[in-house]
Amino acid sequence: MSVLVCFHAHPDDEVFGTGGTMRQASDAGHRVVLVTATDGAAGEFPEGILADGETLTARRRDELAKSAEALGVHRVVMLGFSDSGMAGTPENDNPEAFANLSVESAAQALAEILVEEQADVVTIYDSYGGYGHPDHIQVHHVGKRATEIAGTTHVYESVMNRDHFRELVKANAQWDEEDAPNIEKIGVPADQITTELQVGEFIEAKRAAMVAHATQVGDFGPFLDMPIDMLRVAFGREWYRRIDGTNSGPMETALPL
Ligand SMILES: [Zn+2]
């Protein structure tokens, strides 16, 4: 048995990039630990979705637990740092926000978990955090430093495949030109990817994880409307780049668990 630790910024980030990876590792008998840096308190949510007196933070913790269960996760750790919000929002100015913390102190908190769990493989994000969100960028720096402190052997950046994403956007009629994300800044080009996992057989679990994050229906809704076969085409592969940057050999098809 090996131990896989996936480090993410917010509750819900675990689904797209690493959901199939976690389910696959869990089904293969490995221990899977999901660590989330922030509480997701700056997330948007539909009016009226929270019960009387319920906080968004409490709800998102419950949603994360349900998502983790669907993905076969054995342990969820919320580090509980404050959500920094999207770039340019007022939450960015909070000195306590995750993105504003010193990398060293935040990394220490994660490193303790990596040591305790004797993590074999750790996933973080690339240095642009996939699409530039301050918390996602911080996950890269904090995750990288924590794995140095803990002496983790195998560190991978969970990345979006820019070339695949470009095709998705082209195929998605719901995005007109104004709404479409700036693809040239998102993810990494296919030729920088070192590892591609086929996780189409776990698409039902990924879908269940999307459903679990009910407050995030604004993000997941369009995908939940897709037929499952289309969802499998969109999210049936997950991509990584080894942190050491070497990409000379053939494409890996599994993490070293
Ligand atoms: Zn996020």
Q: What is the mean pLDDT of the chain?
A: 93
Give the separation between CA 80 and CA 102, rounded to whole angstroms.
Answer: 15
How confident is the model at residue 245, as a pLDDT? 65
Q: What is the pLDDT of residues 172-182, one digit of tens each?
A: 666 556 666 67
176 CA to middle of ligand 1, Å?
Answer: 23
How confident is the model at residue 50, as a pLDDT? 95
9 CA to middle of ligand 1, Å?
Answer: 5
249 CA to middle of ligand 1, Å?
Answer: 31
12 CA to middle of ligand 1, Å?
Answer: 7
Q: In Å, what is the CA distance from 107 to each residue of 11, 70, 84, 98? A: 19, 28, 17, 11
Could you tell me if residue 249 is inside a domain? no
143 CA to middle of ligand 1, Å?
Answer: 15
CB neighbourhood size of 72 (10 A): 18
Q: What is the pLDDT of residues 21-35, one digit of tens each?
A: 999 999 999 999 999
How confident is the model at residue 174, as a pLDDT? 63
Lookup result for tokens 């896989």: 4
Write out residues in the chain with pLDDT < 70, as ranges: 172-181, 245-248
236 CA to middle of ligand 1, Å?
Answer: 20
70 CA to middle of ligand 1, Å?
Answer: 19
206 CA to middle of ligand 1, Å?
Answer: 16
250 CA to middle of ligand 1, Å?
Answer: 31
Could you tell me if residue 252 is inside a domain? no
CATH of residue 41's domain is: 3.40.50.10320
248 CA to middle of ligand 1, Å?
Answer: 31
Could you tell me if residue 17 is inside a domain? yes
Could you tell me if residue 203 is inside a domain? yes
Give the separation between CA 160 and CA 214, rounded to whole angstroms.
Answer: 23
Could you tell me if residue 110 is inside a domain? yes
Structural domain for 92, as ranges: 3-242
Could you tell me if residue 247 is inside a domain? no
Could you tell me if residue 248 is inside a domain? no
How confident is the model at residue 12, as a pLDDT? 97
Report angle CA 78, 83, 84 to the nearest 5 degrees. 145
Counting the structural domains of the chain, the total is 1
Could you tell me if residue 182 is inside a domain? yes
